[in-house]
Amino acid sequence: MIPKFKYHPDPIATGAFIKGDTQTCECCGKTTEIWYKSPFYSIEKVKCLCPECIADGSAAEKFNGEFQDECSVDEVSDPSKLDELAHRTPGYRGWQQEYWPAHCDDYCAFIAYVGWDELVEMGIDKEIEETHKDGINGWPIDEVKENLINNGGMQGYLFKCLHCGQYVLLADCD
């Protein structure tokens, strides 16, 4: 069992954490079968962090690092939310620089890596089309629908507002 992460509710399913052979957390020194596998921005090369050291902020503090670049996020009014996102939330991997959107003055939860087919399977493709009718990351929505393929050349990153439930889709290319 891993700690709950407000902005990344299922980090094992998204691949932020790996389950496997026992490793030693470089922060607390304890052995763990679950370790972090997504971006960590620090001067030191850190190979293994356990979920608990991320959740309590000790990993970010010990290595003076961030799990999300504070310059690559939407603005929210409460600075403690940015602190939680950058220092106590597992990140995700993007083709380019990862970006974390906000909605309803709070950061959204990262849900999944997606292509258009996954959005159709989830039954949210029409909602995404409506909320992103002006395009996604500069691409017209029709171009996104045609080219967004999970693990393809155009990758989708699905987020969900914690307050109103609206989905937010980001995309980038390799």
Spatial separation of the C-alpha atoms in residues 22 and 48, rounded to whole Å? 10
Question: How far apart (Å, rounded) are the C-alpha atoms in residues 98 and 163?
Answer: 22
Dihedral of CA 24/26/28/33: which sign? negative
**pLDDT given at position 1:** 82
CA distances from 104 to 75, 101, 164 (A): 11, 10, 7
Segment 17-40, tens digit of pLDDT: 999 999 999 999 999 999 999 999
Cα separation values, 24 from 20, 46, 153, Å: 12, 11, 35
pLDDT digits (tens, 9 = 90+) for 80-116: 999 999 999 999 999 888 999 999 999 999 999 999 9
